[in-house]
Amino acid sequence: MQYVWDPFIRIFHWSLVIAFGVAFYTHNSEWDRLLHANAGYVAGGLIVARIIWGVVATGYANFHTFPLNPIWAAKYFYRVLRGNAKHYIGHNPTGALIIYAMLATGILAVGSGCIVYNNGWIFEDPEFVEALHHYATWGWLWLVGLHVSGVIFESIMHHDNLIWAMITGCKRVCKVEERLKKPKQIKLF
């Protein structure tokens, strides 16, 4: 086992799950409009904090450890379909692509939600901003579904419980890395 996800990442992850869940659950309720808005503000604050942490953190939380590269993501996904995808300690290229998409869509959903909640601010077309908020939020939900599906699939494919890893912070070491850590045996005969 290797320690991968620091406490900030784990707390951020599960807090964002809760904030998004509350905001999405209350999106149609006039009674819960304030709760919906506050959950959105929390989600937005968490996303901003994660972006800052992704720049200043070390280890697997840093964005440099999982660069945004759609070509690598497509190649990794192709290898998944062929059944020979590499096991990553941190984020795999396809997972990285989904994470960046979730962060960007989350910013769009929260930003447009702030504008809608505050009566359009300087926008003359509130219907456009409401539509943007609506589709960004549903797009975010769709990406979350892809993320969860990928986590479950990769957990099964690599025999590594990624949900438990996001709770404990530890992941199983890759077979390739295990082989690299073993000392080479020299045969004399």
Q: Is the pLDDT of residue 64 over 50?
A: yes
Coil, strand, or helix at residue 51? helix
User: CA quadruple 117, 120, 126, 131: dihedral positive or negative?
Assistant: negative
Least confident of 15-24, 66-75, 109-118: 109-118
pLDDT attached to residue 120: 61
Which DSSP category does 174 fall into? P
Domain membership of residue 189 (yes or no) is no
In three-state secondary structure terms, 50 is: helix
pLDDT confidence of residue 129: 87
Which two tokens mark 167?
């709770």
Encoded amino acid at 82, one letter:
R
Q: Rounded CA gap, 150 and 159, in Å?
A: 13
Domains in the chain, number: 1
Contact between 27 and 93 under an 8 Å Cβ cutoff? The reply is no
Average pLDDT, whole number, for the chain?
87
Q: What is the pTM of this model?
A: 0.84
User: Can you give the CATH number for the domain in which 165 is found?
Assistant: 1.20.950.20
- Please indicate, yes or no, if residue 182 is contained in any of the structural domains: no
Q: What is the mean pLDDT of residues 79-91?
A: 89
Asked if residue 188 belongs to a domain, the reply is no
Is residue 53 one of the residues assigned to a domain? yes
Q: Domain span at residue 162?
A: 2-176
Yes or no: say if 67 and 54 are a contact pair by the CB < 8 Å rule.
no
Residue 64 lies in a domain: yes
Q: Is residue 184 part of a domain?
A: no
Residue 127 lies in a domain: yes
Share of the chain above pLDDT 70, in %: 90
Residue 185 counted as domain residue: no
- The per-residue pLDDT for 183 is 37
